[in-house]
Amino acid sequence: MIYSFDEKRDLLDETPEWIEESGVSENELGKLIEAIEAEYPSKAIAKAKSFETIANKSKIAIDTDDIFQAELAGYKVMKQQRKRWETAIKERYLSEETAETKRAWVEFGAYKCHADYGHTSPNTRLMLEIGFTGLLERIQQYASRTGLDERQKAFYLSCDISLKAVMTLASRLSETIAPYNKENADALKALTERAPENSYEAMQMIMLYFYAHEYVCGTRVRTLGRLDVLLYPFYKKDIEEGRYTKEEIGICSNFSFISSGDLKCPSICPSALAVWIRTDRMLRMRCHILS
């Protein structure tokens, strides 16, 4: 691994352009998503199928100056879907009088809140231990149990669809970045076949999960956990086996934090070392603390 973070740092602030021929337009995506909503009464399955469609058909972007990839167009379409569902819930459960009162409170600054459905603190340790493929196997085992009701079956099916969609995205990114960065392409491909085996693959997996979560759940990962503790076994193994040097892993962590901060997602807090205001200084501080 031969990279210079300092040479690439300023270039990482540039937003990569969508590859036009890699997918369909947002307008076409919107029509596909609306058709899915009409076909699947279960919101869990409809949301998973929507993400599956986006992961397969939406445009992607790669950053040849970065060593991690996760860019996928179509977030606006998923956001519009959630807005439609949220509006339907409000119309169903809020009387007109209550809605008018709320609007008045908002107008006069006495009331401010929003629907908050998807904040999570994922089990990153398990994810790194068994990978996307291991999670998929576990989900399929749970789904095969007898006595599940329809809601439980829909939940496990939605998880199955979503995880396979994440791996599809990883494959697409791998194929696209391959001519420019074989090591990154190999890491992405590996995540579709097994659990991560080194620091670089582990960081790429965290990045990919963080980005996909924003699409499926629509709100922020509260924390990915103690990344220093979670990544240490990979670090220790890499050093002992001579796969990477301490300096190379440090460069990886720098790229990882800057890249996660630059992703076009609502969240700018992808770790327990989180701050609400994203600044270059704060991101560099997180890089230094993890190192």
* Segment 130-154, tens digit of pLDDT: 999 999 999 999 999 999 999 999 9
Say how far apart CA 265 and CA 78 lie, in whole Å.
12
Sign of CA dihedral 97, 98, 103, 107: positive
Contact 209, 70 (CB under 8 A): no
- Which residue bears the tokens 């709100």? 219
Residue 11 has pLDDT above 70, yes or no: no
Residue 290 has pLDDT above 70, yes or no: no
pTM of the model: 0.84
Instruction: Determine the length of the chain.
Output: 291
Say how far apart CA 131 and CA 115 lie, in whole Å.
31
pLDDT for the residue numbered 108: 72
Cα 166-128-271 angle, rounded to 5 deg:
85
Say how far apart CA 70 and CA 229 lie, in whole Å.
24
Q: How many helices (H) and strands (E) does the chain have?
A: 12, 2
Q: Which residue has the higher pLDDT, 88 or 114?
A: 88
- 3-state SS assignment for residue 200: helix
E strand segments, 56-138: 60-61, 71-72
- 3-state SS assignment for residue 221: strand
Among 275, 271, 259, which Cα is nearest to 14's?
Answer: 259
Q: What is the pLDDT of residues 184-228, one digit of tens each?
A: 999 999 999 999 999 999 999 998 988 888 777 766 676 777 888
Sign of CA dihedral 63, 201, 160, 265: negative
Q: What are phi and psi of 58, to 5 degrees?
A: -80, 165
Quick one: tokens of 265?
């997602």
Q: Per mean pLDDT, which range of 71-80, 207-216, 246-255 is the poorest?
A: 207-216
pLDDT for the residue numbered 192: 98
Contact 75, 18 (CB under 8 A): no
Q: What is the mean pLDDT of the chain?
A: 83
Quick one: tokens of 235?
């670090």
Q: What is the pLDDT of residues 14-59, one digit of tens each?
A: 778 899 999 999 999 999 999 999 999 999 999 999 999 999 999 9
Query: How large is the C-alpha radius of gyration of the chain?
Result: 20
- 3-state SS assignment for residue 277: coil
Residue 127 has pLDDT above 60, yes or no: yes
Section 62-83 average pLDDT: 88
Q: How confident is the model at residue 65 (pLDDT cuts 50, 70, 90)?
A: confident
DSSP letter, residue 24? B
Written in H, E and C, the secondary structure of 164-190 is HHHHHHHHHHHHHHCCCCHHHHHHHHH
